[in-house]
């Protein structure tokens, strides 16, 4: 699954797996928070799938890399396997 095509429900599960919780829902936006964060993660509840720039910004907020998200989305798939499949 590409980072730009992540359904809202899947990204919510990822946030939960990182220890974030919803602290507020207001006006079509969810505010997610975790102890130690500088700023909260904001998700639009009416936009599905989540746009890539929103995912990238939120990954920065939770101090996670794109690679870490990709590994969570594709458990058990090693980077070398991905490279082999692209070469075919």
Give the domain CATH number at 14: 3.30.920
Query: Considering its fold, how many domains does the chain have in total?
Result: 1
The predicted structure's pLDDT at residue 76: 78
Domain membership of residue 51 (yes or no) is yes
The predicted structure's pLDDT at residue 84: 55
The predicted structure's pLDDT at residue 79: 53
pLDDT tops 80 at residue 83: no
pLDDT tops 80 at residue 1: no
Q: What is the domain extent for residue 53?
A: 3-74
27-72 pLDDT, tens digit per residue, is: 999 999 999 999 999 999 999 999 999 999 999 999 999 999 999 9
Domain membership of residue 85 (yes or no) is no
Please give the C-alpha separations between residue 51 and each of 28, 32, 77, in angstroms, as whole numbers: 16, 17, 24
């Amino acid at each position: 699954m590409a980072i730009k095509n992540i359904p809202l429900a899947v990204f919510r599960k990822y946030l939960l797996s990182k220890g974030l919780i919803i602290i507020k829902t207001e006006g079509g936006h969810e505010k997610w928070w975790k102890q130690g964060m500088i700023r909260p993660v904001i998700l639009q509840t009416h936009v599905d799938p989540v746009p890539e720039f929103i995912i990238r910004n939120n990954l920065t907020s939770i101090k996670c890399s794109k690679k870490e998200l990709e590994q969570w989305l594709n458990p058990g798939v090693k980077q070398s396997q991905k490279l082999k499949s692209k070469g075919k």
